[in-house]
Amino acid sequence: MTIKVIIFDFDGTVADTFDVLLTISNNLASEFGYAPTSPEEISQIKNLTTREIIRRSGVPVYKIPFLLRKVISELNSKIHVLYPVEGMKAALFELKRQGNKLGIITSNDRENVQIFLQNNGLLELFAFIYGGTRIFGKSRVINSFLHQANLCPEEVIYVGDETRDIEAAKKSKIRIIAVSWGFNSQKILKQQKPDFLIEHPHQLVEVIKLLQNPPI
């Protein structure tokens, strides 16, 4: 069945936010009672699932939504100086040129996403933006979107950089393109068995073209 909508995660997938989010997270460590991440620990953390990272931090589950809101609030002051992942802007324009409908579902704030897209000349490419989803709540938003848009799961594909993106897509029974340039490593993403695993934004165009025109 032809893909009608491509849904993107935002942080780490479209926007190159890893370094600034790491800095914000480290600055909030003492307030929320977890250890800051050292440069030496970054590669280790990238090899953990989102749930493993939360367990490792020791932050109580009930505090996670408060921490997430604080991180997003702090990001608002930095959003003006952030840029897309290298190669992503060209890939998005090409996907749009080919007639694909693009959207974003993210845990980040919708306003942050809009400011970023506007500043980087990308806002007109996206038909919708759903922000503020719970850290493990993307599948519910995806399901709501499918219902409202009267779409079958086979007509939608999700693009994300974290294991929780793969988890959400599988719960919603939609295909997932995992990208290795964001928050999780290629190794841990591969273990979660996404439908596709890519290393550069230009491969997005290749995968979507393959799905739109499958070999006979």
Domain segments of the chain: what residues?
5-16+83-212, 18-80
Do 166 and 189 form a contact (C-beta atoms < 8 A)? yes
Looking at residue 1, its pLDDT comes to 62
For 128-175, write each residue's pLDDT tens digit: 999 988 888 899 999 999 999 999 999 999 999 999 999 999 999 999
Cα 203 from Cα 201, distance rounded (Å): 5
pLDDT at 215 over 70: no
Write the DSSP symbol of residue 172: T
The separation between the first and the last C-alpha atoms of the chain, rounded to the nearest angstrom, is: 13
Catalytic residue annotation: 9
Q: Architecture of 5-16+83-212 per CATH?
A: 3-Layer(aba) Sandwich (3.40)
At 132 the pLDDT is 82
The per-residue pLDDT for 163 is 96
Write the CB contacts of 62 (distance below 8 Å, at least 6 apart in sequence).
none
What pLDDT is stored for residue 216 in this prediction? 62
Its pTM stands at 0.93
The DSSP symbol for 15 reads B
pLDDT band at 96 (very low <50, low <70, confident <90, very high): very high
* Residue 209 pLDDT > 80: yes
Q: Are 103 and 215 in contact (CB under 8 A)?
A: no
